[in-house]
Amino acid sequence: MNPLIAPSILAADFANIQKEVEMLNSSEADYIHVDIMDGIFVPNISFGIPVTEAIYKHAKKPLDVHLMIQNPDQYLEAFRKAGAAVISVHYEACSHLHRTLQAIKQLGAKAGVAINPHTPVELLVDVLEDIDVVIIMSVNPGFGGQKFIENTYSKVKRLKSLIQENGADTQIEIDGGVNLENAPKLLSAGADILVAGSFVFSSPDPILTIAELKSITMV
């Protein structure tokens, strides 16, 4: 099976956001990945609700919103209204993750949990059935264009086993440093969705690069 591809708009040209979204509309992308950074949970600030709304206005693909923010609960509704189809919060930023996941679902969005590179996948076992998608961070969140962390393969395999053991239908998404070299190995390890920012947007032909990522097969 081919992976689902979620290009990260963080690497796009923000001065031409409509053009960039239209490019993604005409590509084989399955989602538009939207990275929200608050300057507190992560050491960088990206953009927030009005820019998400502007992306949604032109998007023909579902928005996969990745909240890299402390205490995300108070903003869930606003991001849902701004067009998020999937809302992912960070495990490390939530004191009451189970409650947060229910709140996302009550808003009618799919519920995701992102985990930092140091967070073991095993910590999710008791909420696995409540999670639609786990984002395994393959870089430390905060910036695009970082180097892929090799330990990710082991985390993907371990999470895949946990999902199977628990009879859950949680998807596995990989975020950070994804390229055509590591993508086939990630797919083989059990990944379902691949986020790609700089690899797509800094390539000479982003539409072709998305198609290439989409057509990878297991190794």
The residues annotated as belonging to the active site are: 35, 175
Q: Nearer Cβ to ligand DX5, position 131 or 193?
A: 193
State yes or no: residue 175 binds ligand DX5 (CB under 6 A): yes
What is the DSSP code string of the chain?
A: -PPEEEEBGGGS-GGGHHHHHHHHHTSS-S-EEEEEEBSSSSS-B---HHHHHHHHHH-SS-EEEEEE-SSGGGGHHHHHHTTEEEEEEEGGG-SSHHHHHHHHHHTTSEEEEEE-TTS-GGGGGGGGGG-SEEEEESS-TT-SSPPPPTTHHHHHHHHHHHHHHTT---EEEEESS--TTTHHHHHHHT--EEEESHHHHTSS-HHHHHHHHHT----
Q: Give the one entry of ligand DX5, Zn ion, none that residue 10 binds, where binding means its C-beta sits below a cut-off of 5 to 8 angstroms depending on kind.
A: ligand DX5
Question: For ligand DX5, which stretch binds (CB under 6 A), given 102-110, 123-131, 174-182, 183-191?
Answer: 174-182
State yes or no: residue 175 binds Zn ion (CB under 5 A): yes
Work out which of 194, 197, 209, 213 binds ligand DX5, going by CB under 6 A.
197
State yes or no: residue 35 binds Zn ion (CB under 5 A): yes
Closest distance of CB 8 from Zn ion, Å: 6
Contacts (CB under 6 A) with ligand DX5, residues 44-103: 66
